[in-house]
Chain A
Amino acid sequence: MSELGNLWLYAMLILVGFLPNEVWRMAGVVLSRGLDENSEILIWVRAVATAILTGVVGKLVVFAPGALATVPLAVRLGAAALGLAAFLLIRRSVFAGVATATAAIVLGMLLFGG
């Protein structure tokens, strides 16, 4: 990549990567001052954040990036569902859920191509 291209990439890292992300953390520092952890507004704020978080999850699974895009959509959805089921069935263990989902996606790729 050229020098100019590199410089542009670092400028982009700060301007469209670091700043739009970090602004939320710093806003959180400011807003946390007077807020009680159990206040009613925080239940709504947390619901909004959770919906966005799982929205990101949904988009990453459905419109998968990079090498994950070569895995059929049905395999991605099936693996996510299996991981969730394993988490719920095996003592609510995050590790069990993540391991099951990962094993499922590898198996799915071997069986159905990818």
Chain B
Amino acid sequence: MSAPQSGKPGWRSAFVGGMRAGLTSVFMVVLVGSYVSIGALAHDLNFPLLWIVLSTVLIWAAPAQVILISALGAGAPPLEVALAVGLSGVRLLPMVVALLPVVKAPSTRPRELIVPAHFTAVSMWIEALRLSPKLPRTARIPYVNGLGVCFMASATIASVIGYHLAQALPSLLVAALLFLTPISFLISAVRNARVTADRAAVAIGVVLAPLLAWRGVDLDLFWTGLVGGSAAYAAHRLREALR
């Protein structure tokens, strides 16, 4: 993944520091639980083990992987699957845009930003934004890469364990583990909400998307983002104006 840049002093200790922060993060529990359930889901739908490992390393987004596995498993048309995965991934854009200015230093080369961008997922993003500002700027990229490697490696191992345990795991446990991704995302979104726009968006999104999907509206997540997010932003502007 990330080529070791041993020429820079402190790179290794910052990287190890990031890995250590990952091991003690609450998201470690969430990731391991979620990926055990994703491994079990992939096994139940007859996906090869290598496929699920690659999907974790390449996609690195639990909802997209759940969508991909269940949609391909159900024989959905590829274009429809690509659209659903693409829509669930839209959140990654503003997450990357918000994270990179925090972790980069004036000496950072553009290509050094590719790896932290690939590691960006809800879990890594929340911990990176919370922890990396405490470090000197030059240590931040290796630190968040260490965090990303730690999270991704643990998730990959968890998915392999889940794949092998699929038949032994009681469905009660698998269901509980499948619940970890949505509930941890919801609570993290509430915790990270800074302004009215964020709080309104949390509430509108969680109601609007299932409502649109239930009404059979196409591109439900797209409209949820565009209409719901804009309404949340409008509420924010209104509140600012009335202040």
Q: Could you list which residues of chain A lie within 8 angstroms of chain B, going by C-beta atoms?
A: 1, 6, 9-10, 12-29, 31-33, 35-37, 42-68, 70-71, 76, 79-80, 83-84, 87-88, 92, 94-95, 97-98, 101-102, 105-106, 109-110, 114
Contacts and interface: CB of A to CB of B under 8 A. Distances in A.
A84 B187 contact: yes
A109 B179 CA distance: 12
Interface size bracket, B side? 35 or more
21 contacts: A9-B51, A13-B51, A17-B64, A24-B86, A25-B96, A29-B96, A29-B114, A29-B117, A37-B98, A42-B98, A46-B198, A48-B226, A51-B228, A53-B185, A54-B189, A60-B181, A67-B178, A70-B175, A94-B191, A102-B179, A106-B172
A56 B182 contact: yes
B142 to A, nearest CB: 18
B189 A21 contact: no
Contacts of B185: 53-54, 56-57
B172 A51 contact: no
Secondary structure of the B contact surface, majority rule: helix
B210 A17 contact: no
B3 to A, nearest CB: 17
A67 B197 CA distance: 34
A37 B98 CA distance: 6
A18 B37 CA distance: 20
A68 B206 contact: no
Contacts of A28: 92-97, 100, 117, 120
A43 B236 contact: yes
Report the 8 A-B pairs with minimum CB-CB distance, sorted nearest first: A28-B96, A55-B209, A48-B229, A20-B86, A51-B205, A54-B205, A51-B228, A16-B82
Interface of B: 26, 29-30, 33, 37, 40-41, 44, 46-48, 51, 54-55, 58-59, 61, 63-66, 68, 70, 72, 78-79, 81-83, 85-102, 110, 113-114, 117-118, 120, 122, 171-172, 174-176, 178-191, 193, 195, 197-198, 200-210, 213-214, 220-221, 224-226, 228-230, 232-233, 236
